């Protein structure tokens, strides 16, 4: 059976986790957390990276830092994971969904401005499949309307738009290191902070509302309750697992990109014959092969293809029931404008196996089976 996902593992993880245990520092913000944060800061050129327990929590932190309040509105796509919306709903805000572009499945930047009201406080673009949103346009709109930008870059590590890493455009960017992502620590994430002025508050929110981070740096002689907050810092054992992959980030990304290109090459005859559609990567974007998807004619064809592949021992999946059509989306959010593509395209998308140790032979086999289905 070819699984849809296998968590990334390089071989170095056990050694680093053993070191974390031997350091007798298995709580948060130990040596491996520091190494991971510094690696991400260097790789992205961001002022500050705080490792978190998930991308969900990084986004919640961003919503706290952005002072999102009840009645505020945040513009985002409906075609995304629930966490993009939940972070703001937890603060009493309303997610305002706009339609996606069918080519990249990203929020259609041309629809954002029309969704702005007096209550709009932020835009939350999601870089689907590690392919950047049209950030020039989005940042320009944000600037003109004095809105914050909080990027859901859960899938975006090692990817960029016009050479600038995803997650570094807005005030805050959020990465995920869930086991389904390119690099993993089981459960985990990171908050990227653009402006120096936000760092101290972020550290306090992340450390139960205390200035313990400053205390550990010797900047204050005792730590105290400074503000509201929660516990968003991961164990150093998890950071140790992640660090093994960050060290091999180029190699892992290259392996994924190679498989991605093989899929594209082998499936392009089907696309040229008009049977399926393949991912589109805008010229401005360098992606990270987070996922390889195809689009079938419709939902019915997709269901048949999933079943066909399963018989051939290949697990393929789809995802994201559009948030505006889900019970909580109806309760807490609203869709602005017409749903031309969100629902229709979400019903056609099919994700093929993609993970670090996927082999070229496996990709060839999977592509052959997809072709056999359409033959």
Ligand X SMILES: *Cc1c(COP(=O)(O)O)cnc(C)c1O
Decide: is 346 part of the binding site for ligand X (CB under 6 A). Answer: no
- Helix (H, G, I), strand (E, B), or coil: what is residue 373? helix
Closer to ligand X at the Cβ: 134 or 301?
Answer: 134
Closer to ligand X at the Cβ: 39 or 374?
Answer: 39
Q: Candidates 5, 37, 44, 54: give the one binding ligand X (CB under 6 A).
A: 54
Q: Candidates 50, 55, 129, 233: give the one binding ligand X (CB under 6 A).
A: 55
DSSP secondary structure string for all residues of 71-121: T-EEEEESSS-HHHHHHHHTTT-EEEEEPBPTTT-SB-GGGTGGG--TTEE
Decide: is 122 part of the binding site for ligand X (CB under 6 A). Answer: no
Closer to ligand X at the Cβ: 60 or 73?
Answer: 60
Sign of dihedral through CA atoms 301, 305, 306, 307? Answer: positive
Decide: is 80 part of the binding site for ligand X (CB under 6 A). Answer: yes
Where does 220-338 have alpha helices with state H?
236-247, 249-272, 299-311, 327-332
To ligand X, the closest distance from the beta carbon of 59 in angstroms equals 7
* Residues of this chain, 210-249, that bind ligand X according to CB under 6 A: none
- By CB under 6 A, the count of residues binding ligand X is 14
Backbone angles phi, psi at 180, to 5 degrees: -90, -5
Two structure tokens written together for 208: 């139960």
Distance CA 124, CA 74 (A): 7
Closer to ligand X at the Cβ: 233 or 370?
Answer: 233
Mark 152-191 with x for binding to ligand X (rule: CB under 6 A) and - for no binding: x-xx--------------------x-x----------x--
222 CB neighbour count, 10 Å cutoff:
8
Which residues of the chain form contacts with ligand X (CB under 6 A)? 54-56, 80-81, 83-84, 126, 152, 154-155, 176, 178, 189
């Amino acid at each position: 059976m070819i699984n849809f996902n296998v968590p990334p593992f390089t071989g170095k993880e056990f050694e680093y986790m053993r070191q974390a245990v031997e350091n007798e520092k298995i709580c948060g913000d130990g040596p491996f957390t520091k190494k991971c944060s510094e690696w991400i800061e260097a790789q992205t050129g961001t002022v500050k990276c705080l490792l978190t327990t998930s991308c969900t929590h990084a986004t919640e932190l961003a919503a706290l830092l952005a002072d999102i309040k009840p009645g505020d509105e945040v513009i985002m796509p409906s075609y995304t994971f629930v966490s993009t919306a939940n972070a703001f709903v937890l603060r009493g805000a309303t997610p305002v969904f706009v339609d996606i572009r069918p080519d990249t499945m990203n929020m259609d930047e041309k629809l954002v401005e029309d969704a702005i009201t007096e209550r709009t406080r932020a835009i939350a673009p999601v870089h689907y499949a590690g392919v950047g949103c049209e950030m020039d346009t989005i940042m320009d709109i944000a600037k003109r309307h004095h809105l914050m930008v909080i990027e859901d870059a859960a899938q975006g590590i090692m990817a960029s738009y016009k050479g600038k890493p995803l997650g570094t455009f807005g005030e805050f960017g959020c990465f995920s290191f869930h086991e389904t992502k390119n690099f993993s620590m089981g459960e985990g994430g990171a908050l990227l902070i653009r402006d120096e002025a936000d760092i101290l508050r972020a550290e306090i929110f992340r450390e139960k509302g205390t200035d313990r981070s400053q205390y550990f740096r010797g900047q204050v002689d005792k730590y105290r309750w400074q503000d509201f907050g929660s516990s968003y810092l991961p164990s150093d054992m998890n950071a140790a697992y992640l660090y093994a992959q960050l060290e091999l980030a180029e190699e892992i990304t290259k392996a994924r990109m190679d498989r991605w290109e093989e899929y594209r090459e082998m499936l392009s005859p089907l696309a040229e014959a008009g049977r399926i559609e393949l991912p589109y990567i805008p010229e401005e974007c360098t992606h990270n092969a987070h996922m390889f998807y195809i689009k079938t004619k419709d939902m019915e064809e997709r269901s048949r293809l999933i079943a066909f592949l399963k018989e051939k021992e290949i697990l393929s999946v789809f995802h994201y029931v559009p948030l505006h059509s889900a019970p909580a989306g109806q309760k807490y959010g609203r869709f602005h404008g017409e749903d031309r593509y969100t629902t229709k395209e979400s019903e056609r998308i099919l994700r093929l196996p993609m993970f670090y140790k996927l082999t070229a032979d496996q990709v060839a086999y999977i592509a052959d089976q997809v072709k056999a289905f359409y033959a």
